């Protein structure tokens, strides 16, 4: 792989077969099990996920003379509560009060390069035996050594609390020992960390430290960054997908009040005005002529269209006996699942502020990765990267790569063109029409059952459509602005047939269902028992920009797997929970399935409820309008990053086709719980976000442009909505590693609801979202 260009990077990341856990260990100076060559594509992929964080305590921590601890982190608060959790972590490892800890989050040149805050990787990377946690533990040991010398007492006779080291009545503070000075110390892999059983700060529901400022409107978001001399820009995106610029008539806005400049760079167009409202009006007024691109594939036949495109194929597992076992199975079940493009749909459209001077630039950006943004933005500006500083500034919740990076390029380009600081916020339409959508998926499933209804073979073949993605450290063309300004997205190279699976098993995209063994070279890495398995992913080119959206691809695959597992259980006339347990072998996954079933008071019986299988017309005659049912789904997120199961209870109105989700009961096991209320908040939000995506959300388009461009055309539900009761069971596994949690509940929600709809109605809806029209069509056909 040496010499591979950056342009292949996106594909390499998707193809990567090494587990995230292995990446973490390689990055954390713990176990280097394979070489990390930064010149090869895999090395670059690792770099984007984990960065190249400091190996020294001083890169992570500083203690002032007054005992205040400043921690530097490359994992930022994006609404998930991570500022508070990391402050708890530092307080715990150092034995100081949490109020004495201040975090500096994500500023190039100041904080460690930890790649991007994404992929539920903040807990795995910063709360296990590396990085920030290890810095705290190393610092604590060093401080105890210093105190030992200072007090003339062996370390094992010292106690430490609230940043004060004591021996009987004698004491010395951290501030006195190190205040204002550097540790000059490498992270120590042998430093002893505080065990979860000893925790007094971590493991407690410390309230969000940023909450008082948030609820009183004092918190500065990037939208509120105000730089002296700042003016306002607005971009003018092409009217249709694939359109190219022919000409711009500057005079169409040149006489408007506050005019500064019309900026054009290849197909990138923007206006800069003194005031924001002036820029908004001018962007609407600007006369630009565009040459339209080729027509878009019709949405009505889009899923079939995907199957016809050249694909890049990857086999995750292949036991090579699937066809034989399906051929000899007592029953074969076939089903196809369809998942639409969905969008991040941040409530605030994306915003950035840039101050680009002749020889340097400062960008205030809500990006999830300041170092990748710095390097890629430097390319956009044509400036050495060491002249660009990127300062993370809070944005609207992003749920993955929304417009945060692309608007940072917008601000940079406009500021460079006018030589003044420029604030840019995208319009609602520009955010929604051009963001990197979550991928559309087509999944064909086949399962073979023996005479007793046990699964004897599982075959999966999926098509997903991608274009662009995260910019990483060198691919600004993965985002619309970079592309319009002249950069290309990651190159797409078809590859079919897929090469044989190689390397250790990994399930980062949850391509492999929970119920198979996940075997490679005779070693099983999966969570199930079915030995006959083949999982083939086909990636094709998307007409729209795509990128990671909360539980990227994991949600799409889990929808297909967990619904199909329910189909197999129904065919076997088995209870869906019992049937899952019959095919699982991972004790923690079994644990969350049992815990949610118990909390939901799950009644053991096969689905569907027999009285509900009457035709809809018959039920209406009988006066039955709402049919109720329950469904189960579970996942080990990313194959190694947090367990979750969910029981959904729904009511389907057979007159209107409306699905009402009445109750969601979840069980989570993400290792030691850092902040119980924080993880609950994430689980609850993820579950409701999952309801919105399951029932409402779908990107739409006509023959030339995206048509879901506001909250009327892209549906979700408001705060004042009849939401389900939510119950969360936390399993606090204190001897396990810390896993992510924020993307687990959303991963299983659509499948749990789909299974509950089946239980209620006997109808298997295999296409998201579960809209009333889709439900009515199915009910009518019944």
Partner 1 sequence: MDLTVNGRARAVDVDESTPLLYVLSDELALNGPKFGCGLGQCGACTVIVKGQAIRSCVTPVKAVAGAEITTLEGLGTPEKPHPIQQAFIEEQAAQCGFCLSGVILAGKALVDRNPKPTEEQIHQALSGVLCRCFGHTRMIAAIKRYAAGRTAILPER
Cβ-contact 638, 119 below 8 angstroms: yes
We find the least distance from the C-beta atom of residue 563 to partner 1, in angstroms, to be: 22
The alpha-helical segments, DSSP class H, found in 422-550 are 428-434, 480-484
Reading the block at residue 418, the tokens are: 């006018």
Smaller CB distance to partner 1: residue 53 or 397? 397
Smaller CB distance to partner 1: residue 102 or 585? 102
Reading the block at residue 566, the tokens are: 């329910």
We find the least distance from the C-beta atom of residue 213 to partner 1, in angstroms, to be: 5
- Between strands 523-524 and 643-653, the pairing is unpaired
Q: Closest by alpha carbon to 156, among 180, 130, 192?
A: 192
Q: What are residue 428's phi and psi, to 5 degrees?
A: -55, -45
Q: What are residue 314's phi and psi, to 5 degrees?
A: -135, 130
Q: What are residue 588's phi and psi, to 5 degrees?
A: -75, -30
The number of residues in the chain equals 782
Cα–Cα dist 600/611, whole Å:
21
The residue with tokens 């004491």 is 171
Smaller CB distance to partner 1: residue 204 or 276? 276
Reading the block at residue 410, the tokens are: 């917008």
We find the least distance from the C-beta atom of residue 659 to partner 1, in angstroms, to be: 17
Smaller CB distance to partner 1: residue 347 or 358? 347
We find the least distance from the C-beta atom of residue 246 to partner 1, in angstroms, to be: 28
We find the least distance from the C-beta atom of residue 715 to partner 1, in angstroms, to be: 11
Reading the block at residue 768, the tokens are: 């998201």
Reading the block at residue 428, the tokens are: 């609602």
We find the least distance from the C-beta atom of residue 280 to partner 1, in angstroms, to be: 7
Reading the block at residue 493, the tokens are: 């190279």
The residue with tokens 């985002």 is 479
Cα–Cα dist 467/142, whole Å:
49
In the complex, the residues that contact partner 1 under the rule CB under 8 A are 78-81, 207-208, 210-221, 223-224, 226, 232, 257, 275-277, 280, 345-349, 351, 394-397, 399, 425, 427-428, 677, 681-682, 684-689, 692, 710-712, 716, 718-723, 726
Smaller CB distance to partner 1: residue 130 or 396? 396
Cα–Cα dist 27/482, whole Å:
29
We find the least distance from the C-beta atom of residue 566 to partner 1, in angstroms, to be: 25
The alpha-helical segments, DSSP class H, found in 301-365 are 302-307, 322-328
Q: Closest by alpha carbon to 468, among 408, 539, 559, 374?
A: 539
We find the least distance from the C-beta atom of residue 209 to partner 1, in angstroms, to be: 11
Q: How many Å from the N-terminal Cα to the C-terminal Cα in the chain?
A: 54
Smaller CB distance to partner 1: residue 236 or 530? 236
We find the least distance from the C-beta atom of residue 642 to partner 1, in angstroms, to be: 18
Smaller CB distance to partner 1: residue 162 or 710? 710
Smaller CB distance to partner 1: residue 482 or 686? 686
Cα–Cα dist 757/611, whole Å:
14
Smaller CB distance to partner 1: residue 210 or 450? 210
Q: Which residues, in sequence order, are CB contacts of 757 under 8 Å at separation 6+?
A: 629, 631, 650, 652, 659, 763, 765, 770, 775
We find the least distance from the C-beta atom of residue 172 to partner 1, in angstroms, to be: 33
Smaller CB distance to partner 1: residue 358 or 719? 719
Cα–Cα dist 228/301, whole Å:
52
We find the least distance from the C-beta atom of residue 390 to partner 1, in angstroms, to be: 20
Smaller CB distance to partner 1: residue 111 or 278? 278
């Amino acid at each position: 792989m040496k010499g591979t260009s950056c342009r292949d990077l996106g594909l390499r990341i998707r193809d990567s077969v090494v587990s995230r856990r292995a990446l973490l260990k390689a990055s954390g100076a713990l176990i280097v099990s394979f070489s990390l060559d930064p010149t090869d594509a895999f090395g670059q992929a690792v770099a984007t996920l984990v960065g190249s964080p400091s190996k020294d305590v001083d890169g992570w921590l500083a203690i002032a003379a007054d005992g205040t601890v400043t921690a530097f982190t490359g994992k930022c608060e994006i609404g998930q509560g991570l500022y508070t959790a990391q402050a708890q972590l530092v307080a715990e490892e150092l034995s100081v009060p949490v109020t004495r800890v201040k975090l500096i989050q994500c500023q190039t040149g100041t904080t460690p390069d930890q790649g991007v805050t994404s992929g539920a990787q903040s807990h795995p990377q910063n709360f296990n035996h590396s990085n920030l946690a290890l810095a705290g533990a190393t610092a604590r040991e060093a401080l105890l050594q210093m105190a030992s010398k200072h007090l003339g007492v062996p370390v094992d006779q010292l106690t430490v609390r609230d940043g004060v080291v004591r021996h009987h009545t004698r004491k010395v503070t951290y501030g006195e020992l190190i205040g204002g000075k550097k540790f000059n110390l490498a992270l120590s892999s042998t430093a002893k960390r505080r065990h979860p059983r000893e925790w007094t700060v971590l493991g407690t529901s410390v309230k969000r430290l940023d909450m008082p400022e948030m609820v009183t409107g004092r918190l500065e978001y990037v939208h509120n960054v105000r730089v002296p001399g700042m003016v306002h820009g607005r971009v003018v995106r092409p009217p249709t997908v694939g359109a190219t610029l022919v000409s711009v008539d500057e005079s169409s806005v040149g006489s408007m009040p506050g005019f500064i400049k019309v900026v054009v760079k290849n197909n990138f167009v923007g206006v800069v005005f003194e005031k924001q409202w002036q820029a908004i009006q001018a962007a609407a007024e600007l006369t630009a002529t565009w040459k339209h691109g080729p027509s878009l594939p019709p949405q009505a036949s889009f899923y079939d269209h995907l199957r016809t495109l050249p694909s890049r194929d990857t086999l995750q597992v292949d036991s090579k006996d699937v066809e034989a076992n399906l051929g000899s199975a007592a029953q074969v079940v076939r089903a196809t699942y369809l998942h639409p493009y969905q969008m991040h749909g941040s409530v605030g459209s994306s915003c950035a502020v840039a101050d680009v001077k002749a020889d340097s630039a400062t960008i205030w950006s809500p990006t999830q990765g300041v170092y990748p943004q710095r390097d890629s933005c430097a390319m956009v500006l044509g400036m050495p990267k060491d002249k660009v500083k990127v300062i993370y500034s809070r944005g609207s919740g992003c749920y993955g790569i929304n417009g945060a990076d692309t608007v940072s390029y917008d601000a940079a380009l406009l500021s460079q063109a006018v030589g003044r600081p420029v604030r840019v916020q995208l319009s609602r339409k520009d955010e929604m029409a051009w963001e990197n959508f979550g991928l559309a998926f087509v999944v064909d499933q086949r399962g073979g059952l023996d005479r007793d209804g046990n699964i004897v073979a599982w075959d999966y073949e999926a098509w997903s459509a991608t274009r662009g993605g995260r910019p990483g450290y060198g691919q600004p063309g993965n985002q619309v602005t970079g592309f319009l300004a002249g950069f290309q997205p990651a190159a797409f190279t078809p590859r079919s047939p897929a090469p044989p699976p190689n390397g250790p098993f990994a399930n980062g995209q949850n391509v492999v269902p929970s119920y198979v063994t996940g075997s490679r070279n005779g070693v099983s890495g999966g969570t199930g028992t079915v030995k006959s398995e083949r999982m083939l992913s086909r990636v094709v080119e998307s007409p729209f920009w795509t990128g990671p959206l909360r539980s990227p691809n994991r949600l799409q695959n889990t929808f297909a797997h967990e619904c199909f597992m329910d189909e197999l259980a129904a065919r076997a006339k088995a209870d869906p929970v019992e049937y899952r347990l019959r095919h699982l072998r991972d004790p923690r996954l079994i644990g969350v399935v049992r815990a949610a079933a118990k909390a939901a008071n799950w009644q053991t019986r096969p689905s569907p409820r027999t009285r509900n299988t009457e035709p809809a017309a018959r039920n209406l005659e009988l006066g039955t309008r709402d049919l109720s049912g329950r469904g189960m789904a579970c996942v080990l997120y990313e194959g190694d990053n947090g367990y979750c199961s969910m029981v959904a209870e729904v009511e389907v109105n057979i007159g209107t086709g409306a699905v009402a989700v009445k109750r969601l009961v979840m069980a989570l096991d993400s290792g030691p719980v850092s902040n119980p209320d924080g993880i609950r908040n994430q689980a609850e939000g993820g579950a409701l976000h999952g309801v919105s995506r399951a029932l409402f959300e779908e990107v739409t388009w006509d023959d030339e442009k995206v048509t879901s461009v506001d909250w009327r055309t892209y549906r979700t539900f408001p705060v004042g909505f009849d939401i389900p009761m939510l119950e969360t069971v936390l399993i606090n596994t204190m001897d396990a590693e810390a896993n992510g949690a924020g993307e687990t509940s959303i991963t299983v929600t659509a499948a749990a609801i789909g299974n509950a709809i089946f239980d209620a109605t006997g109808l298997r809806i295999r296409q998201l979202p579960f809209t009333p029209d889709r439900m009515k069509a199915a009910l009518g056909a019944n």
